Chains A and B, each alone.
Chain A
Amino acid sequence: MSSRLTREDVAKVAALARLRLSDEELDLFTEQLSKILGHADDMAALDLTGVAATAHPFGLINIVRPDVVTPSLNRDAFLSQAPDVQDFRFAVPRIVGEAP
């Protein structure tokens, strides 16, 4: 496994993460991220066949409560902090383009 990232790899990851990078940032992050991933080579080289993965220190279990209506947080308080609101809903720029 190569730990070297290319400029194209970083551009792709940035697009996935909804981040726009300048040319200078692309150069810088390519170098820095390659170095950080290079540090993980010690770990990547280990043969961990048969070792279980731990995603959470104590394991997660489903927590349930009786299905009874309880008070929830105030809708208007949440909407008051949104950048744009229309008719008690979060408003966003148009998603679907004009019909051809």
Chain B
Amino acid sequence: MTSAHDIAARVAAGSSATTEVETSLTAISQRNAELNVFLYVDEEGARAAAHQVDERIARGEKLPLAGVPVALKDNLCTEGIPTTCSSKILEGWRPPYTATVVERLLAAGAIPMGKTNLDEFAMGSSTENSAFGPTLNPLDPRRVPGGSSGGSAAAIAAGMTPISLGSDTGGSIRQPAALCGVVGIKPTYGLVSRYGVIAFASSLDQVGPFAANVADAALTLEVIAGHDRMDSTSLPETSPSLVAHLKDGVAGRRVGYVKELVDGSDPDVAAAVAAAVEVLRAQGATIVEMSIPELQLGLSAYYLIAPAEASSNLARYDGVRFGLRVDGDDVAGMNEATRTAGFGAEVKRRIMLGTYALSAGYFDAYYGQALKVRTLTINAFQKAYADVDFLIGATTPSVAFPFGSKTKDPMAMYLNDVFTIPSNLAGDPAVSVPFGRGEANLPIGVQLLGPGRSEAGLLAAAQVLEDAERAR
């Protein structure tokens, strides 16, 4: 598929955005029935948006994403367009407003093609928790695309759209990016507005882009980032300059090669990270081998903090204001019947885990202790960043795994997030970039992590790895 940069350039030069929309619709129609990437394709809306982009270009507007088709994870609110979070409890709901990130894409000339599949309420690492069936990995349909933003990663891998948006609470952008062989960015917490993003764990959730290359991901992040007065956790500054720094390279940078971000991964993954480290060294970076033991505690802390926040956030699905209602004898009975019918097993598991962790008698031992471990994680990262500019490790312990291989044991599925979770706990940015191939010739993701607001440097390093990968 043509890059977002190339599409925007030719549409700006007078080529019709309608052509780009039809190309995307054709690609979607060819494989969506098989892969289940999109839950909803907005053909009519996309064609209308293309006309509007053509008119705006004719009026002389400068649009950074002119005519670029984009896929949206179905936890992003889109006015009048079904938004389900892949849950029966929101089936048929049409939001009365649009998420800020989607408004910004539209303002930049991008064309939303529809809503992509996810694990229900973004809880999962494979899309197997979707109430509407899993998404298949376009590179090997017997395997998962990762999750929770599996549909948005697969849309890129299948060539349906050049860019897409996902959300990352514990790795839900980076992990599917790695498993589908695409680029995924989890931005600094607060850099991208969460207004209109259906909440899972509010202190961890962050929206970010997927793309087939680093430059398109950087451009998309530039468009969606920046302060939003509708989100009280939004950072005060305007969007950072990222594309202009993509050729900055890594010469003179100090890179921490972190033992705990590789240990436990398969040999093919560890070898890919080692090869990436050598590329950075050859391009002038200084490699510092490091151990940050605190990162290993992240998984335990996350699987108490995220469910605790989720149990509170998901209390709003009570059959009163939106979505599903199942009748009961009284209000409490209606609430219970609605939630019992509307939520899937993983969502129930996490709501109960969070409710337990927050309950009297257990609060200090579980939730309170997890918040202290969060502090340890942040302190450990800060100590590391006093010595190095950024860190490198694996995104996931393995390449894409077969369907059903981790569904019986929730803990086995959770372990997939062990390398991605620490960045969410700290609120720091991280990028997954495809580098090398592993088992069954499947792609491997290398992860670059940095301190808050270090996206420009991380993406320059990711560009170095992408250039090396292309030259191989």
Contacts and interface: CB of A to CB of B under 8 A. Distances in A.
A binds B: yes
B300 A42 contact: yes
B233 interface: yes
Given A1-B365, A17-B311, A42-B297, A36 B330 contact: no
Interface string A49-77: 00111111110100101000000011001
Nearest to A96: B330
A36 B351 contact: no
B373 A19 contact: no
B372 A52 contact: yes
A95 interface: yes
Contacts of B343: 19
A29 B339 contact: no
B332 A18 contact: yes
A35 B413 CA distance: 13
A81 B96 contact: yes
Contacts of A73: 96-97
A73 B203 CA distance: 25
Contacts of B311: 17
A54 B352 contact: no
Nearest to A57: B427
A94 B320 CA distance: 13
B407 to A, nearest CB: 12
A31 to B, nearest CB: 10
Given A29-B349, A48-B373, A58-B189, A39 B356 contact: no
Given A43-B370, A83-B324, A93-B330, A36 B336 contact: no
A78 B427 contact: no
A32 B369 contact: no
B186 interface: no
Contact of B300 (A17, A21, A32, A43): A43
A76 B383 CA distance: 52
Contact of B410 (A10, A36, A43, A56): A36
Interface of chain A, main secondary structure: loop
Given A29-B348, A52-B372, A18 B339 contact: yes
A93 B426 CA distance: 44
A77 B98 CA distance: 13
A83 B319 contact: yes
Interface string A13-35: 11011111100000001001101
B337 A20 contact: yes
Contacts of A60: 232-233
Given A83-B325, A93-B333, A35 B411 contact: yes
Q: Chain A interface residue count: which class?
A: 35 or more
B368 interface: yes
Interface stretch (B55-63, B163-171, B256-264, B374-382): B374-382
A39 B340 contact: no
Contact of B303 (A40, A44, A51, A90): A40
A19 B328 CA distance: 13
Contacts of A17: 311, 339, 348, 351-352, 355
A72 to B, nearest CB: 10
A69 B378 CA distance: 40
B321 A93 contact: no
Contacts of A90: 320-321
A33 B330 contact: no
B366 A18 contact: no
Interface string B329-361: 111111111011001000011011101100100
Given A9-B356, A43-B373, A55-B371, A33 B349 contact: yes
B160 interface: no
B322 interface: yes
A44 B426 contact: no
Nearest to B426: A57
Interface of A: 1, 5, 9-10, 13-14, 16-21, 29, 32-33, 35-37, 39-40, 42-44, 46, 48, 51-58, 60, 63, 65, 73-74, 77-78, 80-84, 90, 92-95, 97
Given A51-B376, A53-B368, A60-B232, 18 more contacts: A10-B352, A13-B359, A16-B355, A19-B339, A33-B349, A35-B410, A43-B300, A44-B366, A46-B297, A51-B372, A54-B375, A54-B378, A57-B426, A58-B189, A81-B95, A90-B320, A93-B328, A94-B330
12 contacts: A9-B356, A18-B318, A19-B343, A36-B353, A36-B414, A43-B297, A43-B300, A43-B301, A51-B372, A54-B372, A65-B229, A93-B331
